[in-house]
Amino acid sequence: MTPVYWEWLASQFDMVGRPLVVPSYQGPFNTAILGTDQAVAQGAIGRRFSGLNTFSDANLPQNLGTAGNQSLMIVGAFDENYLFESPVITRALPQTYGNQLAVLLQIYGYIAFTAARYPNANTVIKGTGFVTPTFAS
């Protein structure tokens, strides 16, 4: 989600007055001294919302919709996306240009990605509910 939307979401309370976003401390004892959650990946802001790691990215569009004031949120169980990478492979082929006293050098690798195991594990949420929030000053 965009940083603006995250800050707005973190400032909201439910009908009883409890914050919607709470720290997800892992320790059962004296959790007040543990501090904030640790960021688990690049872009992660170190908080969890509804059990999912939260990522903030200002590159997401904020001018969607007919009025140009809507944003979007990407939600996913990213553990269900698989990226396969081979190690970098290098080789020299002296036979190819042997008559020119030259050598052909190659460097390559293989990569594959799939999100087909659980296609519904990733989705984009957008619409009129994602109007860019405003903050009271």
Domain ranges of the chain: 1-60
C-alpha atoms less than 13 angstroms from C-alpha of 37 in its C-beta half-sphere:
19
- Higher model confidence: residue 15 or residue 132? 15
Exposure string for 28-62, b = 16+ CB within 10 A, e = fewer: eeeeeeeeebeeeeeeebebbbeeebbbbeeebeb
Q: Is the pTM of this model over 0.85?
A: no
The model's pLDDT over 58-79, given as tens digits with 9 standing for 90+, comes to 888 878 877 877 788 888 887 8
Do residues 1 and 124 lie in contact, with contact meaning Cβ atoms separated by under 8 Å?
A: no
The model's pLDDT over 97-132, given as tens digits with 9 standing for 90+, comes to 878 888 999 999 999 999 888 888 888 888 776 776
pLDDT over 70 (residue 40)? no
